[in-house]
């Protein structure tokens, strides 16, 4: 594959293509890229260790949430997790990636704050990867290509170097709408300090409000909450590409699955 083979920028994802219409340009590109099963990915071992440690701390956080914390702390942790999912699903996904609705500044700020708490990286890069995923779904240009297997599409793609096709075709994704949004660019520039500040406040609330211990609050409202909802989010890329109903096209990998939803929301054909 050469750089010349990459299609020029377009306005993909500014409007979703109705199911009854076909898009030969995208279909041809998908067929052209495909999946090279002989390709060997480079594992980033520092990230393997990082996510391994985070999951161990998350499991220990669950233990403390059940046996050591106030019951209110566990309820609070789950509520914060659900709210952070709203930031991803309603904010990064529906508002910014798919332009499903318009939002004024206060709502945009609130959604970006919730997205930051979730810890799934910036809205800017989340949207770029999601648009790339939709345009070249289940090919080597898809960041979490499900043809690589369940584990890869769930979390393995986060622990390995990008396929060259992801990098090349990612440069063609139209991002000018996000680049003109001051809220998105502010989060992109100051993501790490925002993440630390917001999650520090989340951890401090149980300590201030009902005298939870600092250690219990850290393990319950941060580690346990993060790992639980991190995996719920990742299930959209993995579980929903291997299981569930396919009411529109039974030949594609994405499916609709009721277990991968939030209360009051529905994510189908991720």
pLDDT tens digits, 204-227: 999 999 999 999 999 999 999 999
- Give the bridge partners for 256, in sequence order: 245, 268
Question: For residue 116, is it within any domain?
Answer: yes
The answer to whether residue 75 sits within a structural domain is yes
| In a domain? residue 5 | no
What domain range is 178 assigned to?
Answer: 50-242
Q: Please choose, from the candidates 92, 46, 98, the residue with its C-alpha nearest in 3D space to the C-alpha of residue 187.
A: 92
Is there a domain that residue 151 lies in? yes
Residue 201 has pLDDT above 90, yes or no: yes
Q: Which residue has the tokens 């993909």?
A: 12
CA dihedral 150, 153, 154, 155 (to 10 degrees): 120
Beta bridge partner(s), residue 245: 256
Structural domain includes residue 8: no
pLDDT band at 12 (very low <50, low <70, confident <90, very high): very low
Dist CA 3 CA 170 (whole Å): 12
Distance CA 185, CA 181 (A): 6
Q: Is residue 28 part of a domain?
A: no
169 three-state secondary structure: helix
Integer Cα distance of 208 and 139 in angstroms = 49
Q: The pTM is what?
A: 0.80
Coil, strand, or helix at residue 47? helix
Question: How many distinct structural domains can be found in the chain?
Answer: 1
Could you report the per-residue pLDDT of 58-114, keeping only the tens digit for each? 999 999 999 999 999 999 999 999 999 999 999 999 999 999 999 999 999 999 999
Residue 226 falls inside a structural domain: yes
Would you say residue 167 lies in a domain? Answer: yes
- Tell me the pLDDT band of 26, cut-offs 50, 70 and 90: low
């Amino acid at each position: 594959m050469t750089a010349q083979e990459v299609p020029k920028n377009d306005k993909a994802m500014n409007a979703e293509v109705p199911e009854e219409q076909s898009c030969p340009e995208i279909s041809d590109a998908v067929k052209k890229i495909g999946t090279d099963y002989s390709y060997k990915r480079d594992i980033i071992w520092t990230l393997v260790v990082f996510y391994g440690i985070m999951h161990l701390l998350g499991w220990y956080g669950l233990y403390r949430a059940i046996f050591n914390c106030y019951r209110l702390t566990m309820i609070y942790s789950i509520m914060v997790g659900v709210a952070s999912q709203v930031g991803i699903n309603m904010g990064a996904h529906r508002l910014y990636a798919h332009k499903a609705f318009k939002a004024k500044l206060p709502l945009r700020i609130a959604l970006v704050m919730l997205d930051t708490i979730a810890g799934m990286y910036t809205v800017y890069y989340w949207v770029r990867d999601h648009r790339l995923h939709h345009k070249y779904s289940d090919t080597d240009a898809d960041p979490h290509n499900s043809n690589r297997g369940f584990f890869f599409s769930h979390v393995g793609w986060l622990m390995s170097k990008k396929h060259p096709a992801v990098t090349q075709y990612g440069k063609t994704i139209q991002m000018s709408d996000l680049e003109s949004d001051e809220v998105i660019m502010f989060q992109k520039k100051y993501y790490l300090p925002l993440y630390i500040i917001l999650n520090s406040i989340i951890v401090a609330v149980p300590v201030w409000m009902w005298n939870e211990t600092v250690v219990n609050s850290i393990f319950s409202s941060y580690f346990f909450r993060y790992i639980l909802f991190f995996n719920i989010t990742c299930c959209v890329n993995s579980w929903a590409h291997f299981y569930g109903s396919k009411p529109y096209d039974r030949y594609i990998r994405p499916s609709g699955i009721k277990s991968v939803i939030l209360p009051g929301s529905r994510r189908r054909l991720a």
